[in-house]
Amino acid sequence: MARWAPDTKERLREAAMQLFAERGFEATTVPDIVERAGVTRRTFFRHFADKREVFFSGDEIPRLAARMLADAPADMSPFSIAWTGLQALAADRFEPRRDEIAAARRVIDAEPALRERDLQKQADLRAVLVEGYLARGVESLHARVVAGVAVEVLQTALERWADDGSGAPLREHLERVRREMAAVLG
């Protein structure tokens, strides 16, 4: 079995996603994944703590958000910073992986334990945004509201984008969700 191939983590992720789609998340075991990927069980655990982490490990969005907040011009409004970041994420991180993300969303949406972990991931991002806004001198309630809105815009747009058969880019979904939220709050 291959052990140290440079693409091992991606092979494991691809094997897991194929099996989740074929059998469902609960019915797929780590031994099934490693057999499909052609690696050892030990290799799997070198890359992932458990099979849920196939979806959630290596999430660099909170780190990118913290950097974006720290590097943004001092006079830039809190939501403008978030909006610029969402647009960049859409183009650079999500759009090139549309099929993979849509498949992952379907599995996550069908599995309560994964939905719970996804909600925790959203809460973690919200906390990073709040912390970054506070460090910029944004008032606490304002920081919490803007962070919450930014995360909700992203999550709602991602869900719509993953379900959209027309192929509309994520940026269009972000803009549509932003307009709809503004109308609701208006």
The ranges assigned to domains in the chain are 8-54, 59-185
Distance separating alpha carbons of residues 52 and 13, to the nearest angstrom: 11
Alpha-carbon radius of gyration of the chain: 18
- Mean pLDDT (the chain) is 92
Q: What is this structure's pTM?
A: 0.86
pLDDT single digits (tens) 35-75: 999 999 999 999 999 999 998 877 789 999 999 999 999 99
Distance separating alpha carbons of residues 92 and 161, to the nearest angstrom: 15
Q: Which superfamily does 59-185 belong to?
A: Tetracycline Repressor, domain 2 (1.10.357.10)
Q: What's the start-to-end Cα distance of the chain, in Å?
A: 59
38 SS3 class: coil
Would you say 125 and 64 are in contact if contact means Cβ atoms under 8 Å apart?
A: no
Token pair recorded at residue 74: 């001092």
Q: Which superfamily does 8-54 belong to?
A: Homeodomain-like (1.10.10.60)
